[in-house]
Amino acid sequence: MKSGKMLIASRGYTSVGVAELCDHAGVRKGSFYYFFPSKSELAVAVIDSFWQDFDESLTLALEADLSPLARIEAFLDQIFVRHRDTCRSTGNVRGCLLGNLTLELSATENEIRQCLADALGRFGQRLAATISEAMEVGELPKGDADLLADELVAYVEGMILLAKARNDASVIERLRSGALALLGGPRRARRSRARN
Amino acid sequence: MKSGKMLIASRGYTSVGVAELCDHAGVRKGSFYYFFPSKSELAVAVIDSFWQDFDESLTLALEADLSPLARIEAFLDQIFVRHRDTCRSTGNVRGCLLGNLTLELSATENEIRQCLADALGRFGQRLAATISEAMEVGELPKGDADLLADELVAYVEGMILLAKARNDASVIERLRSGALALLGGPRRARRSRARN
């Protein structure tokens, strides 16, 4: 599983073969198919595992002892730092596993697509709850928190896509300003000097 | 080329083999390699051809006889209509070829990544010119048109990603409202009844 996650995160789903997965993990093909009757079941397990890690980092940011809007900003900064660090250590902006697999596979692998749609939906729900709180305390204008959360998920995934196309994580550093505009709040850039 | 474009647009790059491409196009492998010494050169040609078609549709929307902001709105509506129509005819939201290949390949295929980054850059430049015009006539608040265009490209690609994950083109119908918020303009939904 760990091998699958690493290989799929760095190279995508289709280009990684079962033989290579088994070599990397040091297991025999028979064992692989015992746990994952098909490669797509491995993909689903990899997505679930990615979601669990991601959900933990969402919790860290969205349940911090800050105002609701400051928690959303902390989450956006955290996304940038994560991608910048991966780029520093691997030389590549790898992108978000959910976004990568969505655009690689959704039109052909329905089971995987559904799993990705669910994870992106949970991502949106987590954000919607905090957006609602920000509306209640007057940090954001009242509106449809679920729709705005959807738009924010799309914007985050789109900025990561642009960073990956340019292989330049600094694109994601600008996430916060546009995200706040999308939510109807004040544009505020990341204080990069203080936090880098 | 036409076969390559169709197969790669519907299934991605890695999963389409050269033998299948040749079968689909009715050519022999030798002829394929005469024109495209490697599969990645086909991908570059496919991206160029996609860009030419897309640039034509951008010109249609962005040079129409409307106010600058109305031209941007027309372009956003056109994106929705294009994806809705593809979904109606194929049963799938296929996504944007540039976005799909970016997230499938950027971390591993540097030549293709550069070609995608260039196309996304040209897309941004086209939008930036019209955003600047909208600022000049007071339809949008003054700001950095290049940065805003980048954010708009990211948002468009992200909303298409979400639509692909859900296999539901109607997600893209909401593009206009969030895009206007991002640019600092008034949120305005698409008038779907009048135009569908």
Instruction: List chain B residues with CB under 8 Å of A104.
Output: 12, 14, 100, 103-104
Average pLDDT over residues A102-106: 93
CB contact under 8 A, B116 and A10: no
pLDDT value of residue B191? 64
Mean of all residue pLDDT scores within chain A? 92
The Cα–Cα gap between A108 and A113 comes to 8
- Selected for mutation to probe chain B from A83, A89, A104 (highest B CB count within 10 Å) is A104
The Cα–Cα gap between A165 and A161 comes to 6
Copy the structure tokens of residue A89. 């250590």
pLDDT score of B3 more than 80 = yes
Enter the DSSP assignment of A13: S
Q: Are A164 and B112 in contact (CB under 8 A)?
A: no
Count of A–B CB contacts within 8 Å? 153
Average pLDDT over residues A60-78: 95
pLDDT value of residue A192? 55
The Cα–Cα gap between B187 and A151 comes to 13
pLDDT score of A195 more than 90 = no
pLDDT score of B182 more than 90 = yes
pLDDT value of residue B106? 86
Binning pLDDT at 50, 70 and 90, where does residue B59 land?
very high
Using DSSP's 3-state secondary structure scheme, residue A41 falls into helix
Q: Which tens digit of pLDDT belongs to each residue from B109-147?
A: 999 999 999 999 999 999 999 999 999 999 999 999 999
pLDDT score of A196 more than 80 = no
Three-class HEC string of A68-107: HHHHHHHHHHHHHHHHHHHHHHHCCCCCCHHHHHHHHHCC
Nearest to B99 among A94, A150, A161 (CB): A161
Q: Is B89 an 8 Å CB contact of chain A?
A: no
Measured in whole angstroms, the distance separating CA A17 from the mean position of its chain's CA atoms is 24
CB contact under 8 A, B165 and A120: yes
Contacts of A16 (CB under 8 A, 6+ apart): A4, A7, A8
Q: Which strand (E) or helix (H) includes residue A47? A: helix A39-62
pLDDT score of B192 more than 60 = no
pLDDT value of residue B107? 86
Instruction: List chain A residues with CB under 8 Å of B116.
Output: 165
Q: Is B17 an 8 Å CB contact of chain A?
A: no
Residue A186 has, within 13 A of its CA and on its CB side, a CA count of 6
Q: Which strand (E) or helix (H) includes residue B67? A: none
The Cα–Cα gap between A165 and B112 comes to 9
User: A121 vs chain B: nearest CA distance in angstroms?
Assistant: 9
Enter the DSSP assignment of B16: S
Average pLDDT over residues B165-194: 86
The Cα–Cα gap between B11 and A106 comes to 9
pLDDT value of residue B196? 41
Question: CB count, 10 Å around CB of B41?
Answer: 14
| Range with lowest mean pLDDT among A17-26, A109-118, B76-85, B113-122 | A17-26
Binning pLDDT at 50, 70 and 90, where does residue A194 land?
very low
pLDDT value of residue A187? 80
Residue type, A71: R
